[in-house]
Every structure is written in C-alpha cells, then in structure tokens.
Amino acid sequence: MSQIYPGEVFANTSDFDAGIRQLLPRYDEMLEVITRCVPSTSRKILELGCGTGELTLKILKRCPDAEIIALDYSPRMINFAREKVTSFGYQQRWSGKEADFGEWASYPDRFNIGADFDACISSLAIHHLTDEMKQNLFTRIYESLIPSGCFWNADPILPSCPTLAEVYKLAREEWATQQGTTLADVRARIGSSSTYGYSSQDQLATLDAHLQMLRQTGFSTVAVPWKYYGLAVFGGIK
C-alpha cells in the first residue's frame, strides 16, 4: 500500500471522488445536508479538512456572498481542491491553507485566520482525532463563531454495540454492490496511513459522545439533521 496522510483514504488522490462514493453510502446526500444547514446569507466560513473540495463547491454555490478559509494538512488535497475551485470560477472566494486543524485547536495564535465565522464545516476529518482533541477542537470552533454561528460535521460514528457494527458493515457491502463493485475492491485502492500531526487512523466516537462534547462546549442547540447507519451529520448552533 502507498503511504498517505490520515483522511486521504485512497493511494491516488484522483481516485477519491469516485472511490468515496463507492465506499460510503449516500455520500452526496450527506454533504447536501450540511450545505442546507449553513445559512445562505453566511459570509465567512471556516472549513476543516477540505479534502478534494466537494463540500466546498456546494457551500460556495449555496452562499453567494461567502468566503471560505479551508485548512487541510495534505498538500495533495489542497492542490486538488484549489484546481477544482478555480475550474468553477470561485477562486476569489476561497483560501486554502496547508495546515493541521488539530494544531489550530491547540495553538490558534500560530494561524492568521481570524475569528468571527458565521459557520464552521467539516466532513470525514475530525474522526481522526482522539476524543480529548475532539473536545479541544469543538471548544476552539465555538470560540471562533459569531453569536448564533453554526458548526456542522459529517463523520463516521462508532457503533454502540457489536450488533450495530455488523449492521453498519453489511450496509456498506450492499451499497458497494449497488455501485457495481465490491467493498473489497474499493478497499484495495486504499492507502496505508499512520499518525500525522494531531491525526491518526480512525478514532471513532459514538454519536452520543459527540453530542455530549458539543453540549459541554456550550452550544445552545445540538442536533443530528441526518444519520444513515454508521454515518451522521451533527453539530450545533452557538
């Protein structure tokens, strides 16, 4: 297997957009839910772990006055996202920074990205942090939002029991079959990742644990607008 950063998933970055849609059931629907949860009047948005820019494009289209600051420690992902954003003509409203958002959570003064964000979004990235770091990150996000600002995250969640773990596994296998492939074939394209910065291989938490962290952080509203087997969109409003 090729060595990759946690979150890059596939050995070849060019395989990500197609591969993730085979690996994760209803991937596009999941991103669409996050997009709808962000007010269309938002002007300043922070994205943590922008990946190849799929969520970025949806948000920029929904929020015509918004500018996005995107953090991702993978130079391959940042470059891929930049090319995609430019091809759609959004380059003046997007700033991609090669940076570890885990470090931003712990040492915000090292980053010149400001605060007072209308929204913070993330997809398939935060689950690479330990629970302690998740809590630190949620606190940093909360402190960086304007009053009534929102945070929405899409991530895999830890099954709360072995029975559900098997149910979630079968759901992925059935989804891959519906896409004309097998889960084994998709996983054969996955690279090998180890710890990088504050992130490592999957460190999943249950949905209840995530919601408890958000409540402890201080979000006045904590919600789960979407869930499909082992995937969920969750977050809060300050």
Candidates 137, 147, 97; CA nearest to 117 is 147
Query: Which residue is it, tokens 């969640």?
Result: 157
What total of structural domains would you count in the chain? 1
pLDDT of residue 1: 45
Distance CA 23, CA 42 (A): 31
Residue 201 identity: Q
pLDDT digit string (tens) for 167-203? 999 999 999 999 999 999 998 888 777 776 767 678 9
Candidates 114, 118, 117, 127; CA nearest to 153 is 127
Compute CA 13 distance to the chain's CA centroid, rounded to the nearest angstrom: 16
pLDDT band at residue 8 using 50, 70 and 90 as cut-offs? confident
Query: Which residue is it, tokens 């948005």?
Result: 45
Alpha carbons within 13 angstroms on the beta-carbon side of residue 124 total 21
Distance CA 47, CA 69 (A): 6
As a dihedral over the C-alpha atoms of residue 145, residue 57, residue 195, residue 115, rounded to 10 degrees, the angle is -20
Give the chain's mean pLDDT. 93
Q: What is this structure's pTM?
A: 0.95
Distance CA 210, CA 217 (A): 11
The answer on pLDDT for 41 being more than 90 is yes
pLDDT digit string (tens) for 154-173? 999 999 999 999 999 999 99
Q: What range does the domain containing 105 cover?
A: 3-237
CATH at 32: 3.40.50.150
pLDDT band at residue 40 using 50, 70 and 90 as cut-offs? very high
Q: Compute CA distances 47 → 22, 76, 119, 172, whole Å.
A: 24, 16, 9, 27
- Tokens for 147, please give them: 């009053």
User: What residues pair up with 170 in beta bridges, in sequence order?
Assistant: none
Q: With H, G, I as helix, E, B as strand and everything else as coil, classify residue 11.
A: coil
